[in-house]
Chains A and B, each alone.
Chain A
Amino acid sequence: MAVAIRGFIDRYKGSGKTGAFNWFFQRISGVALLILLLGHFYIEHFYAPGTIPTYNVVAGRLASLGWKLFDLSFVVFALWHGINGIFEFIDDYVHNGWRLFLRALFWVIGVFYLILALLTILPFSATGGING
């Protein structure tokens, strides 16, 4: 197993130009999302059916560093996986000058949403968020 993983790392190392790393990491982040997204879905949708998630419940959970890290890693993996998926669409369907524009656009959108996630999750507390 370790040898196989080592082999994959060697094969995709320095592969930025071919996109092979992106292809490989799409699988890795997908497996990570199985745990993170389904965990998130379980907590938000199945754990307490019929109850409305209030600010205090969410703030209570986010009081622990572990849940903050869980939510942040979920956002990071989901954004990377989703935007890399959009890059796959662009590779497949856009072969003219719009290619560069669209790739740049989704880079900007990705960084924007990453910063937005940090600004939302980190200050979320029972005493109030950014605006107190």
Chain B
Amino acid sequence: MSYYRPPAKYRWNAGFVAWLLHRITGLLLILYLFAHEWLISSLQSKSSFDAAMKAVSSPLFKLAEIGLWAVVIYHAVNGIRVIFVNFFHAAERNNYNINVWVFWIIAAILFVIGTIPMAKGLFY
């Protein structure tokens, strides 16, 4: 079978890093979805459901939740960037790398905004 062989060396341009992070966060999200759905589907009685929800409301899980938010918001914002690259000419040579940085900053701002209510939840 013939297929495209990527070059042996990748350049660490912003766009490449953005693509790599998109892959890693995507893989984390599908694995999380499998685990999440498996857990919820196993909690079919009121007592087991409430016991599990209490367990995942511990500070450790709350911190992990903030990590999940980081993964979700990166994948979502970079996904929007991919659509802009595909359909709205965001991949021109003169603006490509700067666009990556613009979307990274947007993702960082949204991450902080979402982290504030979740971090408050840590101290209840």
Binding site for B on A (CB under 8 A): 27, 30-31, 33-34, 37-38, 41, 45-46, 49-56, 58, 75, 78-79, 82-83, 85-86, 89, 95, 109, 113, 116-117, 119-120, 128-131
Given contacts A31-B83, A54-B53, contact A49 B118 (CB under 8 A): yes
- Distance, CA A126 to CA B49, complexed state (A): 12
Given contacts A50-B121, A54-B53, A113-B34, contact A131 B44 (CB under 8 A): yes
Number of A-B contacts (CB under 8 A): 87
Given pairs A41-B69, A50-B120, A131-B45, 15 additional interface contacts (CB within 8 A): A27-B86, A31-B83, A33-B76, A34-B80, A41-B72, A46-B117, A49-B118, A49-B124, A51-B124, A52-B50, A53-B53, A82-B26, A89-B23, A116-B37, A120-B44
Please give, as numbers and ranges, the residues of chain B lying within 8 Å of A30 by CB-CB distance: 79, 82-83
**Chain B interface residue bracket vs A:** 35 or more
* Contact among B30, B45, B54, B124 for A83, CB-based, below 8 A: B30
Chain A residue with Cβ nearest B41:
A120
Nearest first, the 9 A-B pairs at minimum CB distance are A50-B124, A82-B30, A129-B44, A49-B121, A55-B49, A120-B41, A55-B46, A49-B117, A50-B121
* Contact among A56, A58, A78 for B33, CB-based, below 8 A: A78
